[in-house]
């Protein structure tokens, strides 16, 4: 072990020793709680709430509440929390990450801090997919429901509330695990409900994307009654490394279609394949970049019939060329994405192998891939709201997480989220054997060796789980196994609906399962299969348990550890081994070709594995370097987004203030400031009154105020600056008072809110685009020995200041342009719009021969035209 590992291990052991007395106190309550009736146990919730109201803290209730949850789990789920799960629960309650090995019961562990914290506020449990959120709502919901807490579930396709009576009303049997052990959830206990009702529940399960999108949607509403998600107090993130690290590079974006034509994407998708790598463009696999050369530019200009692409096509043509080149050279079908039903490009999560339905690559890249694959190119989008996962989850007052692999990223968790990592001991000793890597000369030799290894173990009956890093390799290996006559199951993003069933049976006698990345699968692999049979389990144990084979080292060690972790759960026997080749992307980037040349010089056969400690260390070194590079990339993204986050916070705060009720006094101040700014801009600094450009001042005032030549006279004959400003400010107030009388004060307040929201939203949308352009442009300033981040901060400060100034001027200009609807259309507005909106400009104008807007089949003149 390294010195740092020893220090980290010692710190972890000190934490375990420190909480041991607390575990003993929790256990001390067990005997008394066993004797309580169900009703007495349930009444503990109300007792705890009263004690909190009387001034006790959550920590004061911790030991009793944990013991209550443990006893409830025994009665509802027939499962009792182990002492190590109590340690994990403590870590979560204290806002830390609990690293628990696969099969140690993270889902059950979370119920301890969730119940305690839900006694006085809402708790969110964040999962990696819809299936797990539904499963855990139904499974763990039995505990919360027994104790009188409400439980909800947020999915991409709907929202639900756990309701034990709902299933009984449907005459469904009270069964939460099916015969295969895959915990299929078919909504027996999930009653469809509005999102607002779900977020009002004490405990809410949902995916990271849905929680994030709901936050963004809440900041696009036009009425406070439309807010669905309350303030974010406490969140526990399952598979925390996957969500807070792996997905941190992709921001959440709500957008609307832009007017950009897709034709250019199609044009450049036909041009790029005619270019030659290393001649017309260069690819850097480390940096994930593809750069056009002068030769390539000349060729593209010739094909397009342009003299100079920068002069004649502009930035738009260059942008489309760059994205088409990236799509062609860096993004590959069946690895980075699939073409679903031959009609749409769906991203494949590189870390979990899951399909990311609804997610799209940004900046036109997704459209470039669509053009490359010959499917319909969707329109580009205009960003309305965006946030990174880092900044979204930092909105929570308290954050915690669970995973099987966090220690290797402990530095990032601490620096970005201020989260410590606690490695929770396993309930039973880990006896899995991790065999040394086998490294082959070519990929084909590696796959042949994998098939040979699988065949040998399969013939003995030992279950084998094979992990691949892409769908392409997943299906390639499947074909090789089929050719060898080895019956097997395939698990990748294309089989996501059968994922749980396939995974749950991976431990059966003689089973062979080929799967993409296993991170976050969320279903235990029980030896012998499900339902568990002692005889089948014993046979598999005698054979050495589940054997895991990795067919390629992943860039992140955590993903390799996740795959290994599928074997050896809860003290089960098991083994794991990785097969690699010098043609694998990881080794290819970090010196694989040099090792390959050496093997050819030494005439080493392709089918002979290399078992060299230097190469194994080189692989680990490569992984460490890439992890560091990715950390730097995420940190870089965060540093820039922190600037945007300040702007976002101020804008959303401003928006909420407007929604809470735009006051007349606030608007009066805006009007006075705007008038003062216009006059001061043209007068201050000019001491000679004769040189004041009074014509220009009046024209600027006339642009916002409905004034005419008779209001100009005061400006022409007066030389006192303060009197001029007071005159026009008072005039504006008088005009506005008259306008308010025409509309009525209630309607006027509503108009003010709508105008202010409209202006702020439009400016914010443009600001997001401007900030994106700014970020791209400041990169070039590094060549001038200037720090791009500092330049970005300075420039963005100016942009935001301009935004707020534009907001004030546009609101004032628009508010004086509002007028009642014309008299001949008054009847239309009265019939179509509610009374409070009768006079708002923008009410639908209807020709007398048009269909009536009330919804009848008659023409307007025959229905309401009188």
Radius of gyration in angstroms for the set of CA atoms belonging to the chain, rounded to a whole number:
33
Q: What tokens does 294 get? A: 């002068």
Dihedral, CA of residue 50, residue 52, residue 55 and residue 59, to nearest 10: 140
pLDDT score recorded for residue 787: 84
Element (H, E) at 402: strand 398-403
Contacts of 720 (CB under 8 A, 6+ apart): none
Predicted model pTM? 0.75
Tell me which fold the domain 259-379 belongs to: Pre-protein croslinking domain of SecA (3.90.1440)
CA distance 471 to 491: 9
End-to-end CA distance of the chain: 90
Per the CB < 8 A criterion, the answer to whether 527 and 597 are in contact is no
What CATH class is the domain 433-611?
alpha beta
Beta bridge partners of 423: 99
What region does 579 belong to: left with phi over 0, alpha with psi -120 to 50, or beta? beta
Per the CB < 8 A criterion, the answer to whether 579 and 553 are in contact is no
CA distance 623 to 165: 51
Span(s) in the chain for CATH 3.90.1440.10: 259-379
pLDDT score recorded for residue 116: 96
CA distance 166 to 61: 32
668: nearest Cα among 733, 727, 746, 743: 733
Per the CB < 8 A criterion, the answer to whether 489 and 511 are in contact is yes
Residue ranges for the chain with pLDDT beneath 50: 1, 4, 171-182, 519-520, 825-848, 852-857, 860-866
209: nearest Cα among 241, 250, 239, 245: 250
Q: Is 698 helix (H, G, I), strand (E, B) or coil?
A: helix
Q: What tokens does 492 get? A: 């990748």
CA distances 316 to 305, 394, 689, Å, are 16, 36, 50
Per the CB < 8 A criterion, the answer to whether 189 and 163 are in contact is yes
Q: What tokens does 693 get? A: 């450009």
CA distance 824 to 866: 10
**Distance from the Cα of residue 239 to its chain's centroid:** 13
Within 10 angstroms of residue 645's Cβ, the number of other Cβ atoms is: 18
Element (H, E) at 66: helix 58-76
CA distances 706 to 581, 667, 698, 703, 793, Å, are 77, 17, 11, 8, 40
DSSP state of 333: B
CA distance 205 to 227: 18
pLDDT score recorded for residue 380: 64
Span(s) in the chain for CATH 3.40.50.300: 3-251+392-423, 433-611
**Which residue is associated with the tokens 């994407």?**
265
Could you name the CATH architecture of 3-251+392-423?
3-Layer(aba) Sandwich (3.40)
């Amino acid at each position: 072990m390294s010195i740092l590992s020893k220090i980290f291990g010692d710190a972890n052991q000190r934490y375990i020793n420190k909480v041991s007395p607390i575990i003993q106190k929790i256990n001390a309550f067990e005997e008394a709680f066993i004797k309580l009736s169900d009703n007495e146990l349930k009444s503990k919730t109300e007792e705890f709430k009263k004690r909190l109201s009387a001034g006790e803290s959550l920590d004061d209730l911790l030991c009793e509440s944990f013991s209550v949850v443990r006893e409830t789990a025994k009665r509802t789920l027939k499962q009792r929390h182990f002492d190590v799960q109590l340690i994990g629960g403590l870590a979560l309650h204290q806002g830390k990450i609990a690293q628990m090995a696969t099969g140690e019961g993270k889902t059950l562990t979370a119920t301890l801090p969730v119940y305690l914290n839900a006694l006085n506020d809402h708790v969110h449990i964040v999962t990696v997919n819809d299936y797990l959120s539904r499963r855990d709502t139904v499974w763990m919901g039995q505990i919360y429901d027994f104790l009188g807490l409400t439980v909800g579930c947020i999915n991409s396709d709907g929202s639900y509330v756990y309701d034990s009576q709902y299933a009984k009303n449907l005459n469904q049997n009270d069964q939460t695990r099916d015969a295969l052990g895959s915990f299929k959830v078919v909504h027996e206990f999930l009653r469809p409900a509005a999102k607002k009702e779900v977020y009002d529940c004490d405990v809410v399960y949902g995916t990271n994307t849905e929680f994030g999108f709901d936050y963004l949607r809440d900041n696009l509403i036009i009425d406070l009654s439309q807010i669905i998600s309350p303030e974010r107090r406490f969140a526990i993130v399952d598979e925390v490394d996957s969500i807070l690290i792996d997905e941190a590079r992709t921001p959440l974006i709500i957008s609307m279609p832009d007017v950009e034509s897709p034709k250019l994407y199609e044009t450049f998708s036909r041009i790029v394949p005619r270019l030659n790598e290393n001649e017309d463009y260069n690819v850097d696999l480390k940096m994930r970049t593809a750069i056009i050369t002068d030769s390539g530019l000349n060729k593209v200009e010739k094909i397009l019939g342009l003299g100079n692409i920068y002069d004649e096509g502009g930035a738009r043509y260059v942008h489309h060329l760059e994205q088409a080149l990236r799509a062609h050279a860096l993004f590959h079908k069946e690895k980075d994405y699939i073409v679903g039903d031959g009609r749409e490009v769906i991203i494949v999560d590189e870390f979990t192998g899951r399909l990311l339905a609804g997610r799209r690559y940004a900046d036109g890249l997704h459209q470039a891939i669509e053009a490359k694959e010959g499917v319909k190119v969707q329109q580009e989008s205009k960003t309305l709201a965006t946030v990174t996962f880092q900044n979204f989850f930092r909105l929570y007052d308290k954050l915690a997480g669970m995973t099987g692999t966090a220690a290797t990223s402990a530095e990032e968790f601490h620096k970005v989220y201020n989260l410590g990592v606690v490695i929770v001991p396993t309930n039973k000793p880990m006896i899995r054997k991790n065999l040394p890597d086998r490294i082959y000369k070519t990929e084909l030799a590696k796959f042949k060796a994998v098939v040979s290894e699988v065949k040998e173990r399969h013939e003995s009956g030992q279950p084998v789980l094979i992990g691949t890093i892409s769908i392409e390799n997943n299906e390639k290996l499947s074909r090789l196994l089929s050719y060898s006559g080895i019956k097997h199951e395939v698990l990748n993003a294309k089989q996501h609906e059968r994922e749980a069933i396939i995974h749950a049976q991976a431990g059966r006698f003689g089973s062979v399962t080929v799967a993409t990345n296993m991170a976050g699968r969320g279903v235990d692999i029980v030896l012998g299969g499900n339902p568990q049979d002692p005889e089948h389990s014993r046979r598999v144990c005698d054979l050495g348990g589940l054997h895991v084979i990795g067919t390629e080292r992943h860039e992140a060690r955590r993903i390799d550890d996740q795959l290994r972790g599928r074997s050896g759960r809860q003290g089960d026997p098991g083994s794991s081994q990785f097969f690699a080749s010098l043609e694998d992307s990881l080794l290819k980037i970090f010196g694989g070709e040099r090792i390959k040349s050496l093997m050819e010089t030494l005439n080493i056969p392709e089918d002979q594995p290399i078992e060299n400690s230097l190469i194994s260390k080189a692989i680990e070194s490569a992984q460490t370097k890439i992890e560091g590079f990715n950390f730097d990339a995420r940190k870089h993204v965060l540093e820039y987004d922190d600037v945007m986050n300040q702007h976002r916070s101020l804008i959303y705060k401003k928006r909420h203030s407007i929604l809470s009720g735009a006051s007349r006094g606030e608007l009066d101040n805006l009007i006075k400031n705007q008038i003062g700014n216009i006059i001061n801009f043209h007068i201050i600094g000019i001491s000679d009154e004769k040189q004041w450009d009074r014509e220009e001042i009046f024209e600027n005032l006339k642009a916002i105020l409905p004034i005419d030549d008779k209001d100009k006279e005061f400006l022409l004959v007066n030389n006192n600056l303060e009197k001029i400003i007071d005159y026009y400010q008072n005039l504006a107030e008088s005009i506005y008072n008259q306008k308010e009388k025409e509309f009525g004060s209630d309607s006027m307040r509503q108009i003010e809110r709508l105008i202010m929201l409209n202006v702020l939203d439009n400016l914010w949308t443009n600001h997001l685009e401007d900030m994106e352009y700014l970020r791209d442009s400041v990169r070039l300033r590094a060549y001038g020995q200037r720090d791009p981040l500092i330049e970005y901060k300075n420039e963005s400060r100016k942009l935001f200041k301009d935004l707020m100034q534009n907001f004030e001027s546009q609101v004032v200009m628009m508010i004086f342009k509002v007028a009642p609807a014309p008299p001949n259309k008054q009847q239309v507005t009265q019939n179509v719009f509610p009374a409070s909106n009768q006079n708002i400009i923008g009410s639908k104008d209807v020709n007398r021969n048009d269909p009536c807007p009330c919804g009848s089949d008659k023409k307007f003149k025959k229905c309401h035209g009188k």
